[in-house]
């Protein structure tokens, strides 16, 4: 897909991978609708517009979708489901509220946003949905059972969806990033973001690569990991 002039919806736009992806899309000429609870600081661009939206709320998602089409245009070409969070803890002491919060954000939010854009993408017979899972969506991690459960759900949803919509000209790609320098680790005891991790820009650049694939194929699953655990 040539991204010039294409409308892209991006959730979780304020920081990290979301912010980097917004900047990468803008650099390719896309029109970006950033959805989130807070706007990215300092991101000013004539082709960027922020829409306040809590993806956990289906009504808020529908309102953001209607507002996006009214302000930017009816056709929606790209959806990047990036909004998410991780909370660690042992299962027998884990907060049920935190468990629900992760599922509401990481899984239900992805579903609400995808459900909103699909009718238009099917009508135009073109679209690309990017879902951000995690390495935690491919393997279990001690004290991260809840987060892993949500990211396994993203994986299953993505792999099912691409088979469902591939004949409608819609691509679905699921990303599984490993350790990345974002604020994700702020709430994970014992781990801090460091220079041996991937950068948000690395993920963003690969998202662009996936979006720019020719019409006749798409990348279904992309796993990304740091090259080395040690700085050189």
Catalogue the active-site residues: 147
Asked if residues 14 and 40 have their Cβ atoms less than 8 Å apart, the reply is yes
Burial class from Cβ neighbours inside 10 Å (0-12, 13-18, 19+) for residue 41 reads exposed
**9 to each of 159, 180, 192, 225, 227, how far by Cα in Å?**
21, 22, 30, 25, 30
Q: Is the dihedral of CA 171, 176, 177, 183 positive or negative?
A: positive
Give the chain's length: 232
Q: How far apart are CA 76 and CA 90, in angstroms?
A: 41
Q: How far apart are CA 74 and CA 95, in angstroms?
A: 41
């Amino acid at each position: 897909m040539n991204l010039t002039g294409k409308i892209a919806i991006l959730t979780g736009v304020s920081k990290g991978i979301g912010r980097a992806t917004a900047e990468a899309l803008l650099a390719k000429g896309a029109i970006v609708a950033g959805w989130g609870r807070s706007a990215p600081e300092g991101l000013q661009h004539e082709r960027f517009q922020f829409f306040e939206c809590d993806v956990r709320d289906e009504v808020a998602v529908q309102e953001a979708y209607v507002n996006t089409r009214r302000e930017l245009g009816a056709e929606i070409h790209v959806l990047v489901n990036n909004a998410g969070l991780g909370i660690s803890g042992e299962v027998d002491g884990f907060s049920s509220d935190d468990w629900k919060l992760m599922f509401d954000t990481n899984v239900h939010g992805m579903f609400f946003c995808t459900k909103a854009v699909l009718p238009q993408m099917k009508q135009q017979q073109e679209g690309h949905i990017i879902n951000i899972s995690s390495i935690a969506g491919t393997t279990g991690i001690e004290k991260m059972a809840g987060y892993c459960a949500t990211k396994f759900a993203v994986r299953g949803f993505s792999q099912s969806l691409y088979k469902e919509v591939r004949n409608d000209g819609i691509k679905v790609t699921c990303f599984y990033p490993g350790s990345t320098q974002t604020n994700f680790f702020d709430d994970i005891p014992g781990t801090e973001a460091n220079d041996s991790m991937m950068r948000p820009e690395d993920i963003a650049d690969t998202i662009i690569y996936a979006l720019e694939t020719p019409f006749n194929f798409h990348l279904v699953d992309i796993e990304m990991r740091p090259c080395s655990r040690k700085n050189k």
